[in-house]
Amino acid sequence: MTALRLVAMVGPRAAGKTTLGRALATALAWDFADADDALAAAAGMSAADCLRSRGEAAFRVLEERVVLPLLACRRTVVALGGGAVLSAAVRARLVAEDCHTVLVLAPAAVLVARLRAGGDRPPLLDLPLEQEVAALLAARGPLYREVARTTVDTDTAPATELAARLAATLRARSGA
């Protein structure tokens, strides 16, 4: 068995990938990287502003360029943006033997409430928010499931508790 050296968090916007990822990195005593932060550093503006100003196609090109090096890190938990799985190159790395990909989910109503509360996430589709969330879950769900080894529902317990359980599972499986 190949040693685990990377955990990647995938899932829809507002599912809690960053919150859970930070808690998991702490539980494992690993580094943490957030793809949105790395993208913001590369673009010189927030991920939301980059998406708004450059459009989704250019955003996705930059996202892939930023994410692939993050997925080469060792002993790191990486929280990816919700659309990162649209890249075939990213998906190929997420299914590598040394990467454990976690699908982070929450019920659609919770995602909508979190997105409304969060404020700075531009719409990706010309639909009301509830319909956008449903459409993106339907479109991206198969890609999330394709790469995920584990699924965590962030609406079931606090992030620290979920992270502790996940860390224990990862240690048992791979000695992480």
What mean pLDDT comes out for the span 35-54? 91
The pLDDT assigned to 92 comes to 97
Helix (H, G, I), strand (E, B) or coil at 44: coil
Per-residue model confidence as pLDDT tens digits over 52-106: 899 889 999 999 999 999 999 999 999 999 999 999 999 999 999 999 999 999 9
- 3: DSSP letter: P
Collapsed DSSP state (helix, strand, coil) of residue 74: coil
Please give the pLDDT value at position 3. Answer: 80
Q: What are the chain's domains? A: 6-165 (3.40.50.300)
Q: State the pLDDT at residue 26.
A: 97
* pTM of the model as a whole: 0.93
